[in-house]
């Protein structure tokens, strides 16, 4: 019973986290600073910040960019704890494990350990390189997450289309977004249906058969849904390119924001 409860909690928590992280748009509806900006202005400014973070070797610059990102989180009325949870797991933690071996690279010795007859030395150059790498990852991930949280999904895709991003790329992102959301719901409903019909005590072999059948069923449903979506698009006049109504308007606030972003990148 405990094992089944653990599996159930893991599935529910994982799917809930996926929905909250990717599909929640309540933050984009807040009356915050970034939410009031034109999506095109936001994309341009955040690209400038990301490129500055990628091509700098200064820890000070990265710290300033990250601090500015957190300031934008506050003025955009996003809960800081919520934001930190979304940006300090998975990719930043994974980059931390990647950067750990770099602290032992040759250079000026800071600390020395003797473990199992081996001599491990943490060097100043290696530690600085690891810190720069981790801060660069955290800063870039935080900027991308902040952009996605403060911009509606359809507005973000439409802004990318205005920037002449290939149509097939935009359509793949848009349809993939909706398909993943749909399949998350299907997984939840399927697990609930299995539990309600078979209970908790399912033999191992029977469980394998159920999982295999559901994988095949999910594949069949995805193919059928793909065909229905394409037919619906054709019936509504689709001829190889989806047309988006450009109702974006650059205002004085957007111009000032772009100027401030450019000056900030130039100064730091």
Q: What per-residue confidence (pLDDT) applies to 74?
A: 93
| Measured CA angle at 51 (ends 47, 57), to 5 deg | 155
> What is the helix, strand, coil percentage profile of the chain, to 5?
75, 5, 20
For residue 68, what are its two tokens? 């500015």
Dist. CA 198–CA 255, nearest whole Å: 61
Whether 130 contacts 100, CB under 8 Å: yes
Dist. CA 261–CA 37, nearest whole Å: 13
Residue 122, strand partner residues: 111
Q: What per-residue confidence (pLDDT) applies to 1?
A: 46
The predicted model scores a pTM of: 0.71
Which alpha helices (DSSP H) does 163-203 contain, by range? 167-198
Contacting residues for 170 by C-beta, under 8 A, at least 6 apart: 157, 160, 161, 242
Q: pLDDT tens for the chain, 268 residues: list them.
A: 445 555 566 666 666 666 665 555 677 778 889 988 988 899 999 999 999 999 988 889 999 999 999 999 999 988 888 888 878 876 667 777 777 777 777 777 777 766 666 777 777 777 788 888 888 989 998 999 899 888 887 777 777 777 777 777 777 777 776 677 677 677 777 777 777 766 656 665 666 666 677 777 777 777 777 788 778 877 877 766 666 555 678 889 899 999 999 998 888 7
How far, in Å, are 184, 187, 208, 214 from residue 14 at the CA level?
10, 11, 21, 19
**Which uninterrupted H or E stretch holds 120?**
strand 118-123
Whether 150 contacts 78, CB under 8 Å: yes
Q: Are strands 118-123 and 109-115 parallel, antiparallel or unpaired?
A: antiparallel
Dist. CA 163–CA 41, nearest whole Å: 11
Whether 121 contacts 104, CB under 8 Å: yes
Question: φ, ψ for residue 122 (rounded to 5)?
Answer: -90, 125
CA dihedral 228, 234, 235, 241 (to 10 degrees): 130
Dist. CA 104–CA 123, nearest whole Å: 6
Residue linked to tokens 């295999």: 212
Whether 119 contacts 104, CB under 8 Å: no
For residue 8, what are its two tokens? 């159930």
How far, in Å, are 71, 115, 125 from residue 122 at the CA level?
34, 13, 9
């Amino acid at each position: 019973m405990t094992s089944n409860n653990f599996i159930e909690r893991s599935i529910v928590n994982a799917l809930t986290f996926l929905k909250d992280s990717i599909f929640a748009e309540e933050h984009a509806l807040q009356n915050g600073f970034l939410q009031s900006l034109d999506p095109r202005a936001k994309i341009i400014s955040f690209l400038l910040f990301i490129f500055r973070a990628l091509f700098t070797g200064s820890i000070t610059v990265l710290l300033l960019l990250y601090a500015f990102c957190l300031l934008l989180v506050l003025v955009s009325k996003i809960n800081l704890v919520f934001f930190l949870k979304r940006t300090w797991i998975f990719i930043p933690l994974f980059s931390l494990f990647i950067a750990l071996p770099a602290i032992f690279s040759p250079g000026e010795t800071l600390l020395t350990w003797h473990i199992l007859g081996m001599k491990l030395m943490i060097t100043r150059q290696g530690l600085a390189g690891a810190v720069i790498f981790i801060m660069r990852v955290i800063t870039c991930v935080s900027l991308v997450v902040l952009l996605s949280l403060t911009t509606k999904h359809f507005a973000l895709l439409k802004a990318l289309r205005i920037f002449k991003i290939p149509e097939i790329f935009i359509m793949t992102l848009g349809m993939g977004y909706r398909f993943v959301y749909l399949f998350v719901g299907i997984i939840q409903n399927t697990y609930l249906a299995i539990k309600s019909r078979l209970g908790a005590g399912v033999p191992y072999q029977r469980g394998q058969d159920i999982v295999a059948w559901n994988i095949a069923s999910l594949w069949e449903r995805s193919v059928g849904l793909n065909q229905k979506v394409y037919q619906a698009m054709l019936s509504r006049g689709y001829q190889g390119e989806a047309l988006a109504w450009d109702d974006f308007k650059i205002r004085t606030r957007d111009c000032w924001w772009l100027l401030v972003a450019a000056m900030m990148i130039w100064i730091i």
